[in-house]
Amino acid sequence: MAWGKSASTTLGSAGDNIDSGTITANKFNQILSHEIASGNTTAQFTFNGSTGNEYANRWSNNGGSENVYGTQSSFDGYLSSSTAFDIFNLIFNSSIVGEEKLSMMFTIDSGGSGAGNAPQRAELVSKYVPSSLSTTITKIECDNTGSGSFDTNSNLTVLGSDYTTSRTPAVPAIPSLLPNLPSGSVGGWVELGRTSNASLPDVTGLADKQYLMFLNFQESNNSRPAPAIRVNGDSGSNYARRGSANGLSDYTNVNQSQIMFGGQPEGNTTTVPYFTVGYIANKSDKEKLAICNNALSYQLGASGSDPLERRETVFKWTNTSDPIDQLTITNFLSGSFNTNGELIVLGQAR
């Protein structure tokens, strides 16, 4: 199993539709979309050109109450139709013959320009139920129904799980498990750089890619550090975030000099691991939008009343002049990390 690129469509001019075209059916799809707003926009996804009542959706915006709707004509990748905010959507989808087609989506919008405005986030699960369950997904579209339009360079990229090197160059589905990944342009995710065995790993010289993925491992050093990240060495107040820990109400932080995406362990005498996966929409002249998920072993061992923490974070770096060429792990709070930290950065070609 290897991720290969099924399609990538970039708008050459403003419009209301981003269409993958016909793609090869895969059992699993990963969809990344960056909708750049020109006026007020929405982002509504459909499969196989179907706008019939074949979708059911459940979602939460900004950590709020659940919303559930059946017999829908699409599923939504936006928070409000009355805003002109850029959007980044990350979708994982299953397309198994004979089964309903299930999707999970994570969404961030900019929440307004500048680091003084916190981004917004949404989490959604959806199912597509075609009239014949033998149908597989061979077309993906994102449509705007707002008064504005998707601006030039808005993008929809689709990766499929079932490619082999005889069909398209590809990288393994779990690249973090391999010692090295191919360099250069390939069909799926390609490793851009890694740093191993460092307390605060730093990866520099990153190639300019449409999307980035990073994987980070840290271990506390008998203290209570909290992992954070900086982009391109920028320590100015140019970051803003929104997040939630363990399903609690969302918090927001604006005008930050770094972005904390993990929590703190329970005590000062423990050595516990942290693991983070993040995705970033990386357009040089737009704010960089990111989606992160973090797990922390809050207490060592599988027992105890509170053995671990989960945290969802969206953040933005408000630089609109440069692509990302450096990611650096920092410590947001007191204490320190052991020297076994790992940071791997992968890119998805334009």
Q: What is the pTM of this model?
A: 0.93
> Which pair of tokens denotes residue 167?
């069909």
- Side-chain-side CA neighbours of 329 within 13 Å: the count stands at 36
20: closest CA among 138, 107, 168, 161?
Answer: 138
The one-letter code for the residue type at 56 is A
The residues that bridge with 97 in the sheet, in sequence order, are: none
214: closest CA among 264, 140, 288?
Answer: 288
Domain boundaries, the chain: 2-160, 181-348
Query: How far is 211 from 197, CA to CA, in rounded Å?
Result: 25
Read off the pLDDT of residues 48-93 as tens digits, 9 standing for 90 and up: 999 999 999 999 999 999 999 999 999 999 998 889 999 999 999 9
pLDDT at residue 18 greater than cutoff 80: yes
pLDDT at residue 112 greater than cutoff 60: yes
The one-letter code for the residue type at 15 is G
Task: Give the confidence band of 264 by pLDDT, cuts at 50, 70, 90.
Answer: confident
pLDDT at 349: 73
207: closest CA among 290, 291, 284, 315?
Answer: 284
Task: Give the confidence band of 306 by pLDDT, cuts at 50, 70, 90.
Answer: confident
The 3-class secondary structure across 149-183, one letter per residue, is EECCCCEEEEEECECCCCCCCCEECCHHHCCCCCC
pLDDT at residue 182 greater than cutoff 50: no
pLDDT at residue 36 greater than cutoff 70: yes
Read off the pLDDT of residues 187-217 as tens digits, 9 standing for 90 and up: 689 999 999 999 999 999 999 999 999 999 9
Query: Residues 316, 119: contact at Cβ < 8 Å?
Result: yes
Task: Give the confidence band of 299 by pLDDT, cuts at 50, 70, 90.
Answer: confident
